[in-house]
Amino acid sequence: MNISELVNYIEVGMTKPVVVERRLLEGFGNYMRIIGFLTKDKVVISYYYYDGSDEDTGIDIVLKFESLDKAIESIEQFLGYPIGDWENFNRTGYYPEPLKDNNVEDKWVELVSDIKQGTMIPKGYSEIRINMNI
């Protein structure tokens, strides 16, 4: 992905957010993180249990940044790789397969704790709103 593609999908895309990450969290079983751009200066980070259904429970964190450049920089630092390595999930439609092992220890309490401590939230935002849809 590049900045032009991201901006194009933000401005004229039919689906919001423009998802740049969708993955199961290593060490958290079937808990997934999705990162998407709502606008040029707003990013949503969603954490929820993923079993392949459309159930919409979890935590949504909306971060507002001073600019698109600041938002991109923050997400690049958070993910540990540059925008050129991001995937446009709105275009590809990719979803990971849920883990088959249902005996994975439930790590929701640990995940919520990490979110509250800020370790699961990118830095550099100017405003934050957290919605718990539990």
CA-based torsion, 67, 76, 91, 21: positive or negative:
negative
Using DSSP's 3-state secondary structure scheme, residue 29 falls into coil
pLDDT of 27: 85
Per-residue pLDDT of the chain (134 residues; tens, 9 = 90+): 999 999 999 999 888 999 999 999 988 888 999 999 999 999 999 999 887 766 667 999 999 999 999 999 999 999 999 999 999 999 999 988 887 765 556 788 899 999 999 999 999 999 999 998 76
3-state secondary structure of 104: coil
CA distance 42 to 81: 20
What is the predicted pLDDT for the residue at 57?
76
The predicted pLDDT at position 104 comes to 59
pLDDT at 18: 97
CA dist., res. 11 & res. 14, Å (int): 9
- Number of separate domains in the chain: 1
CA nearest neighbour of 119 among 38, 27, 53: 27
Whether the link from the prior residue into 17 is cis, omega within 30° of 0, is: yes
Structural domain boundaries enclosing 114:
3-133
Q: Are 76 and 83 in contact (CB under 8 A)?
A: yes
Confidence (pLDDT) at 106 = 75
